[in-house]
Structure 1
Amino acid sequence: MVPRVIRPLLSPLRFAARLGPWALVIGLAVGILFPGLASTVRLALMPLIAGILFVSVLRLDPEAVTSALGHARQDVPIVLVLQLGLPLGFAALFAAADWSGPYAAVLILTVAAAPIAGGAGLAALTGLDGATALRLLVWGTALIPVTSILPLRFALAESPAGIWLPAFKLLLIVALSGGAALAVRRWMLAQPSSGDRQALDGAGAILLSAMVVGLMDEIQPMLISDPLGLLKVFTLACAVNFGLQLAGALLLKPLGGAADRRGAMALVAGNRNLALFLVALPPSSMDAMMVFVGCYQIPMFLTPLIMRRFYRWLG
């Protein structure tokens, strides 16, 4: 049963849910147009991201969590390839090319990140299997404190001792937010109604749009000072997102299986929760990467529009 103190908030939250993706578009626009506000919101990224993780886990059906555990043999190897094998491969490639700096680091961190919290919804909008994306989200988020240790080491060129604090922060955020959500779901929201679910969707939309505002603070200044440079970064972000989806879909096709499940795995490969690293790393490590982080949000929201026909064609 929903606590009485929360009930007055349900109607506004349901209205926010009806706004759907438009709330995220509004967040993008506000963040770009008002960089001062975006910088202020960025200071609150830790509670925002913890809140998003809390709502995402609270939204999960217990059956979905049980299903994820039941598919461990299938899903965990995929997560290890995506969040450990892929970033280490990027790190080796960049080392061989003698390329370093903030963009090399942020690319390693991007492919080391867990799937985005809204991956299941994004998969459904793209005509793919939301359940597969949901299971990979569960395992990817649970394993991120472990799988991130080596990628963080190579991305930030820190000593091994300097990596334990960010890894511990990730573990703490995942454990506290996810554990609190599971407790609330069990004791207070065991059987949510459709209206309750819509309210949770609205809360998630509000938190996501606020987070997006905080990720866009570097976009307008670069748009004014170096528009060609911003275009290059935006092109790189789109190439990483869509490129990983294309590569994943093509590599998985020979393995067979249902096309919508393969497509969901490929979609997850390209759409990662890079923002989670922002709350674990010191600001000095991420400041130079924020233009890419902001640009990377845009192809996420374009995925259903741009990639749906590709996945249908690949079948």
Structure 2
Amino acid sequence: MQILVLGTAAFPLTVLPVLAAVPQIGPASEVLQSAGAVLFTILGSTALGFTLRAWLFPAPDGAQLRALDGVSTLAFATIVVALMAPMNAALRGDPASLALWALLAFALSYGLQLLTLFALRRSALRALAGPLALGAGNRNIALFLVALPPQTLAPLLVFIACWQLPMYLTPFLLPRLYAKALAHD
């Protein structure tokens, strides 16, 4: 959980170079303002989540944990389906562009995972190489939905939709790679 929270909190800072490279985003001041808004949202949501958890479920039993897992699964499934809706129009209108956005999403997500995994697997952080690699490549870029102005966000909706593909396919496509990379030599 600590790695997840720290990775999510670092996201606005690590995405700044990517956002700065996309001309549709706007001037650097807007990029910094958006990153700050996302960081504020992440920290506030995390604090609220931990506070509500401590207040409502200070010592949850097994049934409560399973119920919370179920509610979380339903919420995530609903959110992912909604985030992926722009793919439908893109698939019908410009499938080549959609394929390029998807390729970019896979390259960034899996590239960050592989770089982190192979950089850390022989370091003092070997025990954390897997979780850190997963966190490096599976960032929730949909967080920028709360921070970017609509005119800036519109061109990125297809990319945000495509970003869901590598995130949710990682458990199916990369476990053998992770196991092999982290196997004892």
Larger radius of gyration: 1
Q: In 1, distance between residues paired with 2:161 and 2:154?
A: 11
Deviations along 1:176-228, one digit per CA (max 9) or x if unpaired, are 42232222222331101111111211221122112112212221122112223
Give, in angstroms, the shift of residue 142 of structure 1.
4.1
| Alignment-mate amino acid for residue 4 of structure 2 | L
Q: 1:188 to 1:165 in 2, by over 3 A?
A: same
Q: 1:263 to 1:159 in 2, by over 3 A?
A: closer
Identify which of structures 1 and 2 has the higher relative contact order when contacts are C-alpha pairs closer than 8 Å and 6+ apart: 1
Matched, 1:306 2:182: no
Which runs of 5 or more structure 1 residues have no equivalent in the other structure?
1-133
Equivalent residue, structure 2, for 1:154: 20
Matched, 1:140 2:7: yes
Which of 240, 245, 253 aligns to 2:108? It is 240
CA contact (8 A) 1:234 1:296 kept: yes
1:198-237 alignment, distance < 5 Å: 198-237=66-105
Give, in angstroms, the shift of residue 297 of structure 1.
0.6
| Alignment-mate amino acid for residue 309 of structure 1 | R
Q: 1:237 to 1:208 in 2, by over 3 A?
A: same
Equivalent residue, structure 2, for 1:186: 54
Equivalent residue, structure 2, for 1:285: 152
The farther-off stretch of 236-245 and 224-233 is 224-233
1:77-88 alignment, distance < 5 Å: none
Q: 1:171 to 1:267 in 2, by over 3 A?
A: closer
Secondary structure of 1:254 counterpart:
coil
Q: 1:308 to 1:143 in 2, by over 3 A?
A: closer
Deviations along 1:84-141, one digit per CA (max 9) or x if unpaired, are xxxxxxxxxxxxxxxxxxxxxxxxxxxxxxxxxxxxxxxxxxxxxxxxxx22222234
Which runs of 5 or more structure 2 residues have no equivalent in the other structure?
none
Equivalent residue, structure 2, for 1:41: none
Equivalent residue, structure 1, for 2:63: 195
Q: Could you tell me the percent identity over the aligned residues? A: 35
Q: In 2, distance between residues paired with 1:263 and 1:159?
A: 33
CA contact (8 A) 1:152 1:163 kept: no
Give, in angstroms, the shift of residue 168 of structure 1.
4.8
Q: CA RMSD in A?
A: 2.5
Q: In 1, distance between residues paired with 2:69 and 2:104?
A: 31
CA contact (8 A) 2:110 2:137 kept: yes
CA contact (8 A) 1:149 1:163 kept: no
